[in-house]
Amino acid sequence: MHGNVARKGLVAALATALLLSTGLFVGVSYGGATGITEPQVLELVSTGCSPQDDNPLTECRTFPLKDSGGARSGEIARFRVPMADIDGNPVGRGYLECIDARKTGSICTIVLNLKDGPYTDVGTIVATGTGLPPSAITGGSGAYLNVRGDITAEGTVDDFHLFLNLVP
């Protein structure tokens, strides 16, 4: 009987230790953020992958996909671009990956890794869609923990504006 109680106590102690350590790791990974509490709109600006962009932080590549006969059947596009707020302050980086396959369409994932700025907080926003925006915001971390909403975009001659309609 004492062995059974001791075993249960040991299991309870290990479970408690595991839960506490998991909670600490989760707390560290989220930085203690609770996410936004009110809807908000962020406007971010990027030069995208324009030929005039000489920023060394910009990297844009496409990789062709070929079918078994060697014919081009699609492509994978991967972009890494610096992001700024509407005043031109650097606020992080945007990552875009699109897979486009013949006869099946495309799927794109956007990850915005943001830092603290006048209009932004530290966190990540993730969106997905069938091409360039509009895209559905599917989640986030840090200050944007569990955020949802949508991204729309507007291109100009010199840059690309993203409008993030964030909902807690």
> Which pLDDT score, from 0 to 100, does residue 158 have?
80
21-64: per-residue pLDDT in tens?
333 233 323 344 578 999 999 999 998 887 667 778 889 999 99
Assigned CATH topology for domain 34-167:
AOC barrel-like (2.40.480)
What is the distance between the alpha carbons of residues 106 and 54, in angstroms, rounded to a whole number? Answer: 28
Cβ-based burial of 25 (10 A; exposed 0-12, middle 13-18, buried ≥19): exposed
Q: Where are the domains of the chain?
A: 1-30, 34-167
Q: Locate tokens 């840090």: which residue?
A: 142
What is the distance between the alpha carbons of residues 28 and 49, in angstroms, rounded to a whole number? Answer: 34
Per-residue pLDDT tens listing for the chain (168 residues): 444 333 333 333 333 333 233 332 333 233 445 789 999 999 999 988 876 677 788 899 999 999 999 999 999 999 999 999 999 999 999 999 999 999 899 999 999 999 999 999 999 999 999 987 889 999 999 999 999 999 999 988 888 899 999 999
Residue 167 in tokens: 């909902």
Indicate the SS3 state at residue 19: helix
